[in-house]
Amino acid sequence: MGNSPTTARRPKKARLMQGNLAIAEGALAAGLGFFASYPITPANEIAIFLSRALPKRGAIFIQMEDEIASLAAVIGASVGGLKAATATSGPGFSLMQEHIGYAAAVEIPCVIIDVQRAGPSTGRPGSPAQGDVMQARWGTHGDHPIIVLCPGSVQEAYELTIHAFNLSEQYRTPVILLADEVLARMWERVELPLAQVEVLGRLHPEVPPEWYFPYDDALGDVPPLVPFGQGYRYHLTGLFHDKSGFPTERLDEIDTWQQRLFGKIEGKVEQIARIEEEEMEDAEIAIIAYGSTARSARHAMKLAREENRAVGLLRLVTLWPFHDKAIERVASSVKRIIVAEMNRGQILLEVERVAKGRADVVGVNRADGAMVTPAQIMAALEVEG
Partner 1 sequence: MMEPAVPEHEYLRAQKKFPSVWCAGCGIGIVLGAIIRAVRALSLSKDEVAMISGIGCTGRMPVYVDFNTMHTTHGRALPFATGLKLARPDMKVMVVMGDGDALAIGGNHFIHAARRNIELTAIVVNNSIYGMTGGQLSPTTPFGAKATTAPYGQIEQAFDIAKIAEAAGASFVARSTTYHAIELDRLIARGIEKKGFSVIEVLSNCPLFYGRLNEMGDAVEMLKWFRDNTTAAPGKVASGKIVRGVLVDRDLTGYVESYRKLTAASKKRGGA
Q: Contact residues for partner 1 (CB under 8 A)? A: 33-34, 36, 52-53, 55-56, 58, 60, 62, 64-66, 68-70, 72-82, 84, 98-99, 102, 227-231, 233-239, 244, 246-247
Q: H/E element holding 18? A: strand 13-18
**What dihedral do alpha carbons 31, 33, 34, 35 form, nearest 10°?**
40
Output 136 or 236, the one with its CB closest to partner 1: 236
* 69 or 160: CB nearest partner 1: 69
Which of residues 52 and 344 has its CB atom nearest to partner 1 in the complex? Answer: 52
CB nearer to partner 1: give 82 or 361.
Answer: 82
Indicate the residue among 64 and 303 with the shorter CB distance to partner 1: 64
Contacts of 90 (CB under 8 A, 6+ apart): 114, 116, 117, 118, 119, 120, 123, 129, 131, 132
- Least spacing, CB of residue 240 vs partner 1, in Å: 12
Least gap, CB of 154 to partner 1 (angstroms): 18
Q: How far is the CB of 193 from partner 1 (least distance, A)?
A: 16
> How near is the Cβ of 107 to partner 1 at its closest, in Å?
13
Calpha distance 358→344 (Å, rounded): 22
Q: What sign results for the dihedral spanned by CA atoms 109, 110, 111, 116?
A: negative
Q: How far is the CB of 235 from partner 1 (least distance, A)?
A: 5
Nearest to 166 by CA among 177, 153, 181: 177
Which residue lies nearer to partner 1 by CB, 171 or 213?
213
Q: Whole-number minimum distance, CB 46 to partner 1, in Å?
A: 16
- Cβ-based neighbours of 6, under 8 Å, separated by 6 or more: none
Residues contacting residue 81 through CB under 8 Å, at least 6 positions apart: 202, 227, 228, 229, 230
Contact criterion met (CB below 8 Å) for 114 and 132: yes
The total of other beta-carbon atoms located within 10 Å of residue 89's CB is 29
Q: Pseudo-torsion of CA 42, 47, 53, 56, nearest 10°?
A: -170
Q: At its nearest, how many Å lie between partner 1 and the CB of residue 82? A: 5
Q: What is the DSSP string of 264-304?
A: HHHTTHHHH--EEEES-TT-SEEEEE-TTHHHHHHHHHHHH
Give the shortest CB-237-to-partner 1 separation in angstroms: 4
- Give the C-alpha separation, 161 to 151, whole Å: 9
CB of 321 to partner 1, least distance (A): 25
Q: Identify whether the C-beta of residue 248 lies closer than 8 Å to the C-beta of residue 241.
A: yes
Element (H, E) at 250: none
Please, what is the minimum distance in Å from the beta carbon of residue 212 to partner 1?
13
Q: Which amino acid is at 306?
A: E
Position 169: which residue type? E
